[in-house]
């Protein structure tokens, strides 16, 4: 072998790794990253909680006495739903207008967040700001007749929310999850391509955000990204698992796109103030799928985080993974272990070592403190009677001395109807016992009859107005249905038992 040939081989061997590395680097650079993001300073104060003021008026009526019958048409229809998506707790407050056509509420938020004004709109609430609602009854549609303005970041984000959502967050699924896992995977790849294109557009500057403050721009951009990830997660979650032969392998391939985009999609503290309940809920049950099975498989929190690292190559301190881990732990202690104080303490003790973000640590400690107050020390906060209390007492007055099974439902709710069908045998078996099954809805008797009569749904059927429903949902703090609550024979609400146990007490 001559000297020239030897030199050629040596050069090829030496240059091959450089060429491979160059190709690898080029591939990595193909995934665009956000620039000038975050553009605002993320100091600790930004994540603190406090009160936001919500007030409003009815256009053309403020300052005048409004007849009671007109107020009755409005009051109870609008509610503010604050859902602390970090610790899985929610509070609902009814908006009640006074006789002068105005209202004012102080809503405490654990950190800056989106609030849902049921059933009209989303608003952004930053502690210290004021949001103002104007209702104009003369407008032809609800969307035109309801407007929000506000101060500070709350006003900026709320003002642009609908426009931003319509322009960048309308991502139809088109029932793709019914077409099989291969079709869903192809659809997902296209969604990721669109996500990358959106990042490039953000780097060039979205025209709608041109006049925004840096913080408002960060919140809205993060919200857009979160909505795209939410849709991709829905594509995975809505599939029937039985149709996927190797679900773990499929999950790993489906979410392989996450790691190269982790810095802005997942490991991003801005999600705490720009995400929402639906985003974290869907990510928790799809991308963070190992969390769902950690309890039954006996895995530790650290084992679960390690699986996300090993299978999806996510950071061991990924911010969203920490939020989902905390959400799951809080759900466990508040819903599964209300009477097992030692188990609840062990769950929180196992969770805290994987929570590294200071604000998430604070939320974890606060959530466990609330658990101790409610279930261990059993501190009952005395609250003034509300309209919801009066309405509910009127409903249950005829059934005093019985165990009460109270089910809030609606004809439009499939799970509600399915639950009532499953309950038929129990209702029939207990018809001669001191228990009453009370079904409450804000639908009309005429609308419900087509379901109740052919299916022989027995029980006490109570029909309330839309306003009464609003006050009852505030009293029991629910936004989803079916919502079921039990009362013992002494009229005490019980959430730690079932009808059979209460009958045997």
CB 314 within 8 A of CB 266: yes
Residue 343's pLDDT band, with cuts at 50, 70 and 90, is confident
The angle subtended at Cα 199 by Cα 196 and Cα 204, nearest 5°, is 135
Strand, coil or helix: what is 376?
Answer: helix
pLDDT of residue 72: 77
Same domain flag for 216 and 242:
yes
Structural domain ending residue among the three candidates 329, 350, 380? 380
Q: What is the CATH number of the domain that holds 120?
A: 2.60.40
- Give the span between the Cα atoms of 353 and 267, in whole angstroms: 17
Q: Tell me whether residue 5 is in a domain.
A: no
pLDDT of residue 8: 54
Classify residue 256: in a domain, yes or no.
yes
| 277 and 173 in a common domain | yes
Torsion angle of C-alpha atoms 159, 161, 162, 164, degrees rounded to 10: 120
In this structure, are 432 and 326 located in the same domain? no
Q: Within a 13 Å sphere around the CA of 279, how many CA atoms are in the beta-carbon half?
A: 25
Closest CA to 232 of 169, 274, 299, 293: 169
Nearest partner of 154 among 54, 42, 270, judged by Cα: 54
Distance, CA of 37 to CA of 199 (rounded, Å): 11
Res 248 pLDDT > 70: yes
Report the candidate in 68, 77, 135 with the shortest Cα–Cα distance to residue 466.
77
* Claim to verify: residue 148 and residue 177 sit in the same structural domain: no
Say what the pLDDT of residue 323 is: 93
Structural domain contains residue 294: no
Mean pLDDT of 362-381: 79
**Whole-number Cα distances in Å, 414 to 282, 422, 451:** 20, 13, 11
8 Å CB contact between 430 and 463: no
Is the preceding peptide bond at 444 cis, omega within 30 degrees of 0?
no
Domain final position from 126, 152, 178? 152
How far CA 276 is from CA of 56, 88, 251, in Å, comes to 24, 11, 23
Q: Quick check: 86 and 59 in contact, CB under 8 A?
A: no
Residues 414 and 481 in one domain: yes
Residues 180, 273: one domain? yes
**Mean pLDDT of the residues in the chain:** 87
Residue 379 is given by DSSP the state P
pLDDT band at 29 (very low <50, low <70, confident <90, very high): low
Q: Which residue has the higher pLDDT, 67 or 499?
A: 499
| Structure tokens, 450 | 């087509």
The answer to whether the CB of 243 falls within 8 A of the CB of 180 is yes
Q: Do both 175 and 280 map to the same domain?
A: yes
Query: Which of 6-10, 216-220, 490-494 is least confident?
Result: 6-10
Same domain, 212 and 245: yes
For residue 36, being part of any structural domain is answered with no
Query: From CA 96, how far away is CA 79, in angstroms rounded?
Result: 9
Q: Is residue 21 part of a domain?
A: no
Distances (CA, A) of 421 to 12, 341, 454, 463, 470: 74, 35, 11, 19, 26
Of the pLDDT bands very low, low, confident and very high (cuts 50, 70, 90), residue 22 is very low
Number of domains comprising the chain: 4
Lowest mean pLDDT among 243-257, 345-359, 416-430: 345-359
Q: Is residue 59 part of a domain?
A: yes
Q: Are 495 and 458 within one domain?
A: yes
Asked if the structure places residue 17 within a domain, the reply is no
**Secondary structure in 3-state letters for 274-294:** HCCHHHHHHHHCCCCCHHHHH
Check which CATH number belongs to the domain holding 448 and give it: 3.40.30.10
* Same domain, residue pair 132 and 203: no
* Termini Cα distance of the chain: 97
Range of the domain at 105: 46-152
Tokens of 372: 């101790």
Residue 318, CA distances (Å) to 164, 251, 266, 321 in order: 27, 18, 7, 5
Residue 38 included in any domain: no
- Choosing from 152, 183, 206, the residue where a domain stops is 152
Q: Are residues 80 and 183 in the same domain?
A: no
Length of the chain: 505
CA–CA separation, 401 and 433 (whole Å): 11
- Is the model more confident about 63 or about 353? 353
Are residue 87 and residue 146 in the same domain, yes or no?
yes
């Amino acid at each position: 072998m001559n000297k020239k040939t030897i030199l050629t081989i040596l050069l090829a061997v030496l240059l091959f790794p450089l060429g491979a590395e160059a190709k690898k680097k080029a591939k990595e650079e193909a995934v665009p990253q956000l620039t000038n993001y975050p553009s605002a300073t993320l100091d600790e104060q930004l994540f603190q909680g406090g009160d936001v003021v919500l007030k409003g008026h009815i256009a053309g009526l403020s300052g005048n006495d409004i007849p009671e019958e007109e107020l009755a048409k409005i009051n109870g229809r609008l509610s503010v739903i604050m859902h602390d998506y970090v610790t899985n707790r929610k509070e609902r407050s009814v908006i009640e207008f006074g006789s002068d056509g105005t209202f004012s509420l102080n809503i405490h938020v654990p950190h800056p967040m989106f609030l849902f004004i049921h059933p009209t709109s989303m608003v952004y609430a930053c502690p210290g700001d004021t949001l103002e609602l104007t209702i104009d009854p003369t407008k032809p549609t609800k969307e035109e007749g309801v407007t929000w303005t506000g101060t500070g970041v709350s006003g900026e984000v709320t003002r642009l929310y609908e426009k931003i959502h319509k322009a960048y967050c309308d991502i139809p699924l088109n029932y793709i999850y019914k077409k099989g896992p291969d079709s869903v995977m192809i659809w997902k790849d296209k969604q990721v391509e669109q996500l990358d294109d959106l990042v490039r557009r953000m780097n060039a500057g979205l025209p709608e955000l041109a006049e925004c403050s840096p913080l408002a721009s960060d919140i809205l951009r993060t919200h857009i990204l979160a909505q795209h990830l939410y849709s991709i997660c829905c594509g995975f979650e809505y599939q029937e698992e039985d149709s996927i032969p190797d679900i773990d392998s499929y999950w790993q391939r489906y979410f392989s796109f996450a790691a190269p985009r982790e810095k802005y999609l997942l490991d991003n503290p801005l999600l705490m103030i720009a995400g929402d309940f639906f985003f974290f809920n869907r990510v928790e049950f799809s991308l963070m799928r190992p969390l769902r099975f950690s309890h039954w498989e006996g895995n530790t929190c650290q084992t679960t985080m390690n699986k996300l690292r090993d299978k999806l190559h996510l950071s061991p301190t990924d911010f969203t993974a920490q939020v989902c881990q905390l959400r799951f732990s809080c759900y466990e202690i508040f819903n599964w272990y209300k009477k097992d104080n030692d188990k609840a303490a062990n769950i929180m003790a196992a969770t805290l070592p994987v929570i590294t973000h200071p604000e998430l640590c604070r939320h974890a400690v606060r959530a466990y403190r609330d658990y101790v107050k409610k279930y261990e020390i059993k501190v009952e906060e005395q609250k003034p009677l509300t309209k919801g209390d009066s309405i509910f007492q009127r409903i249950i007055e005829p059934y005093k001395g019985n165990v009460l099974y109270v089910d809030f439902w609606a004809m439009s709710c499939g799970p509600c109807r399915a639950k009532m069908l499953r309950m038929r045998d129990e209702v029939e078996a207990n018809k001669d016992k001191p228990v009453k099954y009370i079904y409450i809805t804000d639908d009309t008797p005429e609308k419900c009859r087509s379901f109740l009569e052919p299916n022989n749904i027995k029980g006490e059927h109570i029909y309330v107005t839309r306003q009464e429903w609003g006050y009852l949902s505030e009293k029991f703090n629910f936004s989803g249905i079916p919502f079921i609550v039990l009362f013992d024979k002494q009229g005490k609400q019980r959430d730690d038992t079932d009808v059979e146990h209460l009958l045997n007490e």
